[in-house]
Structure 1
């Protein structure tokens, strides 16, 4: 089985598909270290995003994944760690 990788581009696509984008936010800019709340994504939008990631990548995210990983960079790293664990399991 080949190893999947979750990228910031994947995250941007899923965020846009699930919740759209706040008018004042440019997801094409440097958002890696910007808090999701500052990007205009609150709990309901992040819940939808988490569900889409789980379905698309076949993983299960902890309930507190977005409180523990508040930026795109941190979330991408967490998802990739889960993906790596599922490949080696």
Structure 2
């Protein structure tokens, strides 16, 4: 059974587990609206992040999830929208 909600804390944990963090970036700071590139996460790190989200939350994300959602806030919202669709299906 998949989890019902994807949180910002889940995203931070998955980012750190999959790709680590730039020493200059404080993921505990106000980063909800900072784009992933500015946070030091390139496409390969985001692909790994997406794969980890899919496995942990038992969902399939759109191929363009990171292109369409370039900040943590918008990504969390998009993943939660996918989770709602999965639960309703």
Normalised TM-score (structure 2) = 0.96
**Residue aligning to 2:34:** 34
User: Within 1, Cα distance between the matches of 2:63 and 2:88?
Assistant: 23
**Residue aligning to 2:24:** 24
**Cα RMSD between the aligned structures?**
1.3
The gaps in structure 2 that reach 5 residues or longer are none
Residue pair 1:3, 1:87 contacting (<8 A) in 2 also: no
Structure 1's consecutive aligned runs of 4 or more residues displaced over 2 angstroms after TM superposition are none
Per the alignment, in what secondary structure is the counterpart of residue 26 of structure 1? coil
User: Within 2, Cα distance between the matches of 1:3 and 1:12?
Assistant: 16
**Residue aligning to 2:55:** 55
User: Within 1, Cα distance between the matches of 2:40 and 2:3?
Assistant: 31
User: Within 2, Cα distance between the matches of 1:20 and 1:3?
Assistant: 23
Residue pair 2:2, 2:58 contacting (<8 A) in 1 also: no
**Residue aligning to 1:71:** 71
**Residue aligning to 1:81:** 81
Please report how far the alpha carbon of residue 76 of structure 1 lies from its aligned counterpart in structure 2 after TM superposition: 0.2
Residue pair 1:3, 1:84 contacting (<8 A) in 2 also: no
